[in-house]
Amino acid sequence: MRLTGKVALITGGGTGIGEATAKIFAAEGAQVAITGRRKDVLEGVAKAIVANGGKVLVVAGSVTDEAHVQSAVDQTVRTFGKIDILINNAAIGVFGTPLHEMTDQAWQDILDTNLTGVFRITRAVIPHMLERGGSIVNVSSVAGLVGIPGLAAYSGTKGALVALTRCLAIDYAKEKIRCNCVCPALVDTPMAADAIADPDMNAMMMAKHPIGRFGTPDDVARMLLYLASDDASWVTGSLFTIDGGWTAQ
């Protein structure tokens, strides 16, 4: 198993990419801590992990709350003794709103979760990685690489994650803390459910994917597994598109 003896903290671990990642990491031998806003959803994921013989900790809350962030990190270290892997997956989307129609509050909400939330939890985790090293993986999006109509706020935060990843990789390379970034295209998750259900939007988005299908949470989780594992011990500051060929066009 590729993560035997590792401890992973995964934000947004209740659904979609976070859920798939938590289950795959646990199956690969990691002890997993999952965070998210809905405790009942997290507990459902935890139940499945335990039923499969895995070890998991649930810490409900939002990455926009500094007290929750500190509690999640502290509880993970108390329960499992360390943190080797951080997956920054928690995110929200504001889709289809032109920038000139966006309110200050909507802008701030998406910034607080998608970017400042990553800052908060990464800042809290790094001190626990300084002595032994670790792997941080930020979940960005193709929206951080190419222009997509109506996604200005979301795209802005996801593009910022790309830059943040590179800076973290350079700043902490000597401490053997690796930081990489994945950029999925449209993945069949609850966040994308409305777009997938809309026939016009579905057709428009499908045309962007030469491979002929949308992604699955497992598609992304498998890349996260590679980057979190020692198989990627010489990989840092890198950007990985998982997009069915979107950005190859």
Residues annotated as catalytic (active site), given as ranges: 154
Cβ-Cβ contacts under 8 Å for 86 (sequence gap 6 or more): 8, 9, 121, 122, 125, 134, 135, 136, 137
- Integer Cα distance of 248 and 104 in angstroms: 35
The DSSP-derived string for 83-110 is --EEEE-------S--GGG--HHHHHHH
Q: How many CA atoms lie within 13 A of 209 on its CB side?
A: 19
Q: Are 102 and 94 in contact (CB under 8 A)?
A: yes
Q: Which stretches within 190-238 are classed as H helix?
A: 193-197, 199-206, 217-228
Helix (H) or strand (E) holding 7: strand 7-10
On whether the CB atoms of residues 11 and 90 are closer than 8 A, the answer is: yes
